[in-house]
Amino acid sequence: MIGASSHRKEGRAKVMGTAIYTDDKFVPDALHGVTVRSQVPRGILKGIHFGGGIPWAEFTIVTAADIPGKNLVASVMHDQPFLVGIGEEITHMEQPVVLLAHSNRHLAERARLAVALEVEELPAILDIQASLDLEQVIYGTHNLLKEIRIQKGDPSKVWDRAAHVIEGEYFTGAQEQMYLETNAMVAVVEEKDAQTWVTVWGSLQCPYYVHGALKQLFGLPEDRVRVVAMEMGGAFGGKEDYPSVNGGHAALLAWKSGKPVKLIYDREEDLACTTKRHPSRSRLKTAFDAEGHLLALETDFVIDGGAYATMSPVVLSRGAIHAAGLYRCPHVKVHARAVATNTPPPGAFRGFGAPQSLFAMERHMDICARKLGLDPVELRRKNFLRLGDTMATGQVIREDLDLGGLMDRALAEIGYHDKRAAFAITNQGEGPIKRGVGFSVFMHGCGFTGSGESYLASVAGVEGLADGTVSILAASTEMGQGKNTVFSQIVAEALKLPYELVDVAEVDTDRVPNSGPTVASRSTMMVGRILEDAAIGFKQSLVQQGFLQEPYTPESFQVAVAKAVATLGSVKCYGQYHRPPNIVWNDSTYQGDAYPTFSWACYAAEVAVDLDTYEVKVEDFVTVQEVGRVVNPRLAAGQVEGGVAQGIGWGLWEEVTTKQGRMINNQMTNYIIPTSADLPRIQVVFLENAHPAGPGGAKGIGELPMDGPAPALLNALEGALGPLRLDEVPMTPERLLQRCEEVSHG
Amino acid sequence: MRGYLSDCDIRVPGSLTEALAMLSGEPGVWTPFAGGTDLMVVYNAGRLKATRFLDLSGLAELRGIQEEGACLAFGSLATFSDIRDHRAVHQHFPNLVKSARATGALAIQNRGTLGGNIVNASPAADTPPSLLAYGAELELVSSRGRRRVAYDHFHLGYKQMDLAADELVARILVPKPEGRSFHYFRKVGTRQAQAIAKVCLAAHVRIVDGNLAELRIGLGSVAPAPVRARNAEAALLGKSLTDLPVLAARAALLADMSPIDDIRASAHYRSVVTQNVLGHMLRELANV
């Protein structure tokens, strides 16, 4: 089963249009909810006024004063209110203040515009520099949401004796996840047996995050709250933390009205107010000896965390750990900060901080190569991590890593050396088209950072059904990545059953245990491994209780399960995460094994720049990755192709344009994600090297493909155009024109 | 959906005469609605001021593409797909085919109309530069009768047109080029498909004895309305293919544009790139 390109479990329903997404859910007598948001970046809320022409008596109206439990969204830190109350501070342009619901959604929309907020405005800070300069103090004493320091050796002792010291500054912009299905929630709150019961169905990645947020919002015990994940039209991290907010809003309206409430964002609202990738600024300083060996690396990594901490501390953590790249370096110092600004909080997005810091490192390596007079291939080859080396956190490489071989394979697939030589000649021509090839080499840590997996202590299980088939019990959600299929393959393999006899249970917190959030490239490797254990336990208990004899056929297994269910009523077996004994992490010193393992990759891009229009066409793209054993090659290739498309978009076109911190190009017309016409053939090569920590040897794959494209593209652009200030993504045509003019104007 | 549907009124006239009678009976009250591909987007965003609409989509009188003497006559309800698929359009007006293909997505091309594209008067629309390059003429109709206006005199400013409140665009007449022709169309959009133009340039040149005997250049996205590049045209008219005054034409083009910074591109980018696209066109022209 593992290694087969099994069909998607939910594929047929999606293709036939019968899959039920949240807004498809038929809810009789539902009210439609809308959110009234602040329209200033910072100020004190003084009053709320309900204007004329609206039948307010027909509306359900919720303000902060109505909240039954805690008005704080449960997250890494509990600092964001569900609604701003009167006398409290508004901290960004899209902050929810009032919730309205009505049976007529058009009228609800009109009513939203009739609510006027009286606000005493305060000066706002809108970008990283303003926050670092403490132009205003809006968070704590220094606008710091989180600060991390990682140190190995002492770079300060190296600068004076190094043959070369090279510094650089790099920037990355915000990015929208642009899932096809916007954020959506349906809530029902019932009062029975003198108790409040809250149920939310929604488009969400992490049912138990929403569950925790609702418990805190309503002050209810665990069993009074139920969260169900509906079919999901994409997420990419965009439905990791935000659903705790809009899920809470829908539930508040349902609780106050006593009726079901649908809260469905349209695209403009979704783009303007939900989370994005964190913008970043990196300053790198590197020292090399005369031969090009990396002696010291110091990086100052800053991300814009917006108005509240949300996921910023953990995004920063992953970014900081990936900041030094995959190079051996005896002296490393990483200073990482997430700073507060008066902008809607960014959040999780595929890659989770690593694309930002790896962009800086992999651009910087090419720039260093040029300054050292070395080929970027050879500079990297001299410095790659190998078996026994230690990373910045002191994590020892225990795999027999061959990053040089990985790189050579990618370069061979794209014809790097031949193309470089050819373009050096053709680019001398008169025509406006200039071509270049470039690449990046990078890694992505699998699973939660540091002790995250130990804290989660995820549980997942396997249940026998009356018809003798097997059902998977896990809170991991299907967002298009293929979880239903891959989990079924893993369990089918463990039980030696055909794929058709295994399926996944509906993700409903009343039915499935907490297998942790569906994030961090962890589902296949971490939850898959727990399921492997659970499946084997399930089989053993059938044997021990006399229902099953080994060896067995699929038919005899099915008969045994049916008989066990008929006899016992219910047959389930759970597994739980156990920290491998050799994995050690210290949260306070940031020393140890940051991840159980990493996936490794080299991506290479060929670009053609049109100097008439400054448009960049990606003409070829090669990806070579080592992700352990590949569970489902077709789905895995799809993950890589999609991630590369998203990475190309981030590198070249996707720009969040803001005014007072609010996104103003919040339509698909003006926020430019690539179409198929904008994308090249994407070649996907897997080098399989089974890893013992994952099921059947699998590692994580979901986020890795987001990390490599941006630096590969900008390195290719430098190949095409020569040394320009290619220090920022997205490198839009407008920005590229400006960079070219800097050179021509001296 | 942010528009308020209960406020909206949409009427479906049974004939052109009935439609014109409604327009003249209450001038300025009724907004013509053809494909709706712009109106529905603005409505959905809650930014559509108009609430009363005249659905023209059933009026057969305004459909079709016909040869009419030296012209091809496009009914104002001819869709982008009609244009894209029509043999005579391919034969005579390759720029129009390219601009129809460059407009929105296939679904938009099936609904959107040439007349609607003209009166929506977006400076970034893709067909107007081609119509300007081909010297199109508009036939306007009202209860008072019919009149013709040269398309290059139709747009008067941002969303300002030589179109009375009781008039509709009935047909678009485009003279078929004769002799040796050079056609050029280039849209620089925000991406390769489903994009709005940042710069658009269409040109048609009639070549006689190696000289530019006749020349029209239409520009999009660089002025409040689609415009002809009259200064650049003047710099090039009558010149020989072997000795095109590229620098003079590029310089003259600056006086034809008044680009702005907006959400899609900067004025500077539009200005530089329009000049470069003209340069590209002239390189291709020199090679015919």
CA distance A149 to B10: 64
Q: B77 and B149 in one domain?
A: yes
Per-residue pLDDT band at A688 (split at 50, 70, 90): confident
Residue with tokens 């072997």: B242
Indicate whether B36 and B18 sit together in one domain.
yes
- DSSP calls for A202-249: ES-S-HHHHHHHHHHHHT--GGGEEEEEPB-S--TTTTTSTHHHHHHH
Bridge partners (DSSP) of residue B65 are B74
Reduced to 3 states, what is the DSSP secondary structure of residue A359?
A: helix
Tokens representing B48 are 């559509």
Query: What is the pLDDT, as a whole number, of residue B130?
Result: 98
Bridge partners of B197?
B189
- Pick from A268, A734, A736 the residue to mutate for testing the B interface (most B CBs within 10 Å): A734
What is the structure's pLDDT at A211?
Answer: 98
What pLDDT does A692 receive? 75
Q: Are residues B157 and B92 in the same domain?
A: yes
Hey, is the C-beta of A133 within 8 angstroms of any chain B C-beta?
A: no
Within this chain, do residues B236 and B206 fall inside the same structural domain, yes or no? yes
Where residue B189 sits, what CATH number does that domain have?
Answer: 3.30.390.50
pLDDT exceeds cutoff 90 at A458: yes
Q: What is the pLDDT of residue A5?
A: 97
Looking at the structure, do residues B75 and B171 belong to the same domain, yes or no?
A: yes
Beta partners for residue A683, in sequence order: A622
Give the distance from CA B77 to its chain's centroid: 14
Name residues whose C-beta falls within 8 Å of residue A160's C-beta, 6 or more positions apart in sequence. none
Say if residue B266 is in the same domain as residue B228.
Answer: yes
The single residue listed with the structure tokens 């720009």 is: A655
- B192/A677 Cβ within 8 A: yes
Strand (E) or helix (H) holding A535: helix A528-544
Interface test with A, best of B188, B263, B266 (most A CBs within 10 A): B263
Cα radius of gyration (chain B):
19
Banded pLDDT at A696 (limits 50, 70, 90): confident
Structure tokens at B118: 């003209």
Report helix angle A403-414 to A376-383, nearest 10: 160
Core vs surface per residue A183-209: b (16+ CB within 10 A) or e = bbbbbbbeeeeeeebbbbbbbbbbbbb
Number of helices (H) and strands (E), helices first, in chain A?
19, 28
Rounded distance between C-alpha atoms, residue A204 and residue A8, angstroms = 20
What number is the average pLDDT over the span A330-350?
A: 98
- Angstrom CA distances, A340 to A113, A127, A149, A306, stand at 29, 9, 18, 5
Q: Do A106 and B263 touch (CB under 8 A)?
A: no
Cβ atoms of A511 and A505 within 8 Å: the answer is yes
Confidence of residue A581 (pLDDT cuts 50, 70, 90): confident
- Residue A517: what are its φ and ψ, rounded to 5°? -75, 155
Helices B246-253, B267-286: crossing angle, 10 deg rounding: 150
The number of distinct structural domains making up chain B is 3
In which residue are the tokens 């997420």 written? A235
Backbone dihedral angles phi then psi of residue A610, each to the nearest 5 degrees: -100, 110
CA gap A418, A237 in Å, rounded: 39
Q: What is the reported pLDDT for A694?
A: 78
Q: Is the pLDDT of residue A691 over 80?
A: no
Which whole-number Å values give the CA distances from B123 to A603, B16, B47, B188, B201, in the listed order? 40, 28, 19, 14, 12
pLDDT tier for residue A94 given thresholds of 50, 70 and 90: very high
CA atoms within 13 A on the CB side of A673: 17
Provide the pLDDT confidence category of residue B4 given band limits of 50, 70 and 90.
confident
Evaluate whether B157 touches B224 at the Cβ level (below 8 Å).
yes
What CATH number has the domain bearing residue B90?
3.30.465.10
Residue A16 CB contacts under 8 Å (≥ 6 apart), including other chains: none
Q: Which helix H or strand E contains A120, and what residues bound it?
A: strand A115-121
Element (H, E) at A272: helix A267-273
Q: % helix / strand / coil in chain B, to the nearest 5?
A: 35, 30, 35
pLDDT digits (tens, 9 = 90+) for B63-112: 999 999 999 999 999 999 999 999 999 999 999 999 999 999 999 999 99
- pLDDT tens-digit readout, B30-45: 999 999 999 999 999 9
Instruction: For the sheet with B65-68, list strands across it.
Output: B65-68, B71-75, B168-175, B137-142, B145-150
**Do B115 and B133 reside in the same domain of the chain?**
yes
pTM score > 0.90 for this model?
Answer: yes
Beta partners for A286? Answer: A166, A297
Distance CA A216, CA B146 (A): 70
Distance from CA of A734 to the nearest CA of B (A): 6
Which of B111, B145, B175 is the endpoint of a domain? B175
Is B168 found in the same domain as B64?
yes
- For β-strands A294-306 and A280-288, DSSP reports them as antiparallel
DSSP state of A527: I
- Tell whether B6 is within 8 A of chain A (Cβ): yes
Amino acid at A422: A
Average pLDDT of span A68-74: 97
Task: Yes or no: say if B16 and B141 are a contact pair by the CB < 8 Å rule.
Answer: yes
Domain of residue B245: give its range: 180-286
The model's pLDDT over A197-212, given as tens digits with 9 standing for 90+, comes to 999 999 999 999 999 9
| Model confidence at A746: pLDDT above 70 | no
Q: How many helices (H) and strands (E) does chain B have?
A: 11, 14
Residues in B closer than 8 angstroms to A667, CB to CB, are 45
Q: What is the DSSP string of B226-273?
A: -EE-HHHHHHHTT-BGGG--HHHHHHHHGGG------SS--HHHHHHH
Are A677 and B191 within 8 A, CB to CB?
yes
Angle at A368 between CA A365 and CA A372, to 5 degrees: 140
Structural domains for chain A? 23-122+178-273 (3.30.365.10), 124-175+276-383 (3.30.365.10), 400-446+597-746 (3.30.365.10), 450-576 (3.30.365.10)
* Domain match, B70 and B45 both: no
Cα A101 from Cα A358, distance rounded (Å) = 45
ipTM above 0.90, yes or no: yes
End residue of a domain, out of B21, B37, B55: B55
- Asked whether the beta carbons of A84 and A41 are under 8 A apart, the reply is no
Contact predicate A363/A393, CB 8 Å = no
Amino acid at A366: D
Percent of chain A with pLDDT over 90: 97
Question: From CA A331, how far away is CA A185, in angstroms rounded?
Answer: 49
Question: Looking at beta carbons, which residues of chain A come within 8 Å of B199?
Answer: 613
Cα A400 to Cα A294, A342, A389, A405, A629: the distances in Å are: 21, 47, 11, 12, 16
Q: Cα distance from B146 to chain A (closest Cα, Å)? A: 37
Which residue on chain B is closest to A737 by alpha carbon?
Answer: B269
* Residues B93 and B157 reside in one and the same domain: yes
Residue of A106, A674, A678 with shortest CB distance to B5: A106
A465 DSSP assignment: -
Please choose, from the candidates A158, A232, A117, the residue with its C-alpha nearest in 3D space to the C-alpha of residue A518.
A232
Residue A745 has pLDDT above 90, yes or no: no
Q: Which chain B residues in 158-177 lie under 8 Å from chain A, judged by CB atoms? A: none
Mean confidence (pLDDT) of chain B? 97
d(CA A67, CA A585): 39
CA distance B274 to chain A (A): 8
Element (H, E) at B115: helix B114-120
User: Mean pLDDT throughout A718-738?
Assistant: 97
Domain edge (last residue) among B145, B175, B205? B175
Instruction: Label residue A379 by pLDDT band (50, 70, 90).
Output: very high
State the pLDDT at residue B111: 97
The nearest CA of chain B is from the CA of A102 a distance in Å of 14
Which of chain B's residues have a Cβ under 8 Å away from the Cβ of A678?
Answer: 191-193
* B39: enclosing H helix or E strand: helix B39-44
H helix or E strand, kind and range, residue B114:
helix B114-120
Q: What rounded mean pLDDT belongs to chain A? A: 97
My answer on whether B192 and B217 are in the same domain is yes
Residues B87 and B162 in one domain: yes
- pLDDT value at position A695? 83
Question: Before A551, cis peptide (omega within 30)?
Answer: yes
CATH number of the domain where residue B9 is located: 3.30.43
> B243 pLDDT exceeds 80?
yes
* pLDDT tens profile A617-645: 999 999 999 999 999 999 999 999 999 99
* Residue of B122, B201, B269 best to disrupt the A interface, most CBs of A under 10 A: B269
pLDDT of residue A293 exceeding 90, the answer is yes
Contact A410, A439 (CB under 8 A): yes
* Chain-chain contact of B273 with A674 (C-beta, under 8 angstroms): no
Kindly tell me if the per-residue pLDDT of B237 is higher than 70. yes
Mean pLDDT throughout B123-131? 98
Q: Which tokens belong to B176?
A: 């078929």
pLDDT for B5: 85
Q: Distance (Å, rounded) from C-alpha A41 to C-alpha A43?
A: 7
